[in-house]
Amino acid sequence: MRTFVFPGQGAQAIGMGRELAEAYPAARAVFDEVDEALGENLSALIWDGDIETLTLTRNAQPALMATSVAAMRALEAEGFSIRDAAFVAGHSLGEYSALCAAGAITLADTARLLQIRGTAMQEAVPVGQGAMAAILGLDLATVDRIAREAAGDEVCQAANDNDPAQVVISGHKEAVERAAALARAAGAKRALMLPVSAPFHCALMQPAATVMGDALAGVDIHEPAVPLIANVRAEPVQQPGAIRQLLVEQVTGSVRWRESVQFMAAQGVTEFWEIGAGKALSGMIRRIVPGAATRSFGGPSDLAALRG
């Protein structure tokens, strides 16, 4: 049994998707439609721009989605189908890519939503007031306890439960720094402050959640072709109203990636195909489910391995 998974922010790279667009008209059409929906030449930034500009949240989110959906369209041109999967799932913004690929939200609406989301998340907290840190070598329960202890009257919480030995925390900068120090004292292998522009997936993102609630209210959402494993629930959802609500909750809620992968594996999924830029999710999945078969598809050269 197979599932398609879609990467989140951090996977962006200059040139991503270019070979897909050159090899597959359907993939090129994705980038053209995203450019038109946003009223700007995002594809030029993706292929020939500078990484600092591409990494800005308002650019990175639609860019990564466009690359993932272009990859899915290329796979479809090669005879694969979204319906070949038992589930779809995405890491943070990748959840939007998954929903678009599964036909729940149109490509144009997805691009516009992600640009709104990226801008709102960037503007929710003044620069320098928030931070995120990756805690390596401690489990979620331990990190959660440390985050609560470090928070005091500020915000510090587990933002991404990525795999058994990697949890990302998010919140006020000083609280995150206190938590990182406590994690090191508790035996963490590493506690790394992350080079991010805002403290994603924590209560400080509430202004962005409000913005997304308004934006999503004006968008048609349909039942996806296959169930989505939602970030904030780590369980399948297909009902459009539930999807809309969970996308709002996702802005401030934790990305329960470890539990999501465990759920899919428990349902019989043995192959995880990462669709789009990078291979970060594949590494997490192998740590969550040792022995799981992972494949990545981000360009034409990856096709042979998928057919193997």
Give pLDDT tens digits for 279-302. 999 999 999 999 999 999 999 988
Which positions ≥6 away from 103 have C-beta within 8 Å? 82, 222, 224, 225
Alpha helices in the chain (DSSP H): 18-23, 25-38, 42-48, 51-55, 57-77, 94-101, 107-123, 140-151, 173-185, 206-217, 240-252, 257-266, 280-288, 303-307
pLDDT greater at residue 135 or residue 300: 135
Domain ranges for the chain, please list them: 2-124+204-305, 130-196
Q: Is the pLDDT of residue 306 over 80?
A: no
Average pLDDT, the chain: 96
Rounded CA gap, 156 and 169, in Å?
A: 7
Average pLDDT over residues 28-57: 96
What CATH class does 130-196 carry?
alpha beta
Rg (CA), the chain: 18
Distance separating alpha carbons of residues 268 and 236, to the nearest angstrom: 14
Q: Which of 91, 172, 201, 282 is catalytic?
A: 201
Higher pLDDT, 300 or 245: 245
Q: How far apart are CA 4 and CA 295, in angstroms?
A: 10
Strands 87-90 vs 2-6: parallel, antiparallel or unpaired? parallel
Residue 217's pLDDT is what? 97
Inform me whether the pLDDT recorded for 253 exceeds 80: yes
Helix axes 107-123, 206-217, angle to 10 degrees: 160
Model pLDDT for residues 46-61, shown as the tens digit of each residue: 999 999 999 999 999 9
pLDDT band at 127 (very low <50, low <70, confident <90, very high): confident
Which residue among the candidates 92, 97, 197, 296 is catalytic per the annotation? Answer: 92
Q: What region does 210 belong to: left with phi over 0, alpha with psi -120 to 50, or beta?
A: alpha
Whether 91 is a known active-site residue: answer no
CA atoms in the 13 A half-sphere facing the CB of 187 = 5
201 catalytic residue (yes or no):
yes
Residue 261 in tokens: 């992968």
Instruction: Please give the share of the chain, as a percent, with pLDDT higher than 90.
Output: 94
Whole-angstrom CA distances from 93 to 96, 185, 186, 221, 233 are: 6, 33, 31, 16, 15
| Phi-psi sector, 268: left (phi>0), alpha (psi -120 to 50), beta | left
Does residue 160 carry a pLDDT above 80? yes
Mean pLDDT for the stretch of residues 70-91? 96
- Tell me how far apart the alpha carbons of residues 74 and 225 are, in angstroms, rounded to a whole number: 18
| Domain 2-124+204-305 in CATH 3.40.366.30 | no
Chain segment 194-206, per-residue pLDDT in tens: 988 899 999 999 9
Confidence check: pLDDT of 303 > 90: no
Percent of the chain that is helix, strand, coil (3-state, to 5): 50, 15, 30
DSSP state, 203?
G
pLDDT on residue 49: 97
Query: Is the model's pLDDT at 84 over the cut of 80?
Result: yes
What mean pLDDT comes out for the span 98-117? 98
Residue 304 has pLDDT above 80, yes or no: no
pLDDT on residue 40: 97
| pLDDT band per the 50, 70, 90 thresholds, residue 308 | low
249-273 per-residue burial string, b: 16 or more CB within 10 A, e: under 16: bbbbbbbbbbbbbebbbeeebebbb
- Calculate mean pLDDT across residues 6-23: 95
Q: How confident is the model at residue 305 (pLDDT cuts 50, 70, 90)?
A: confident
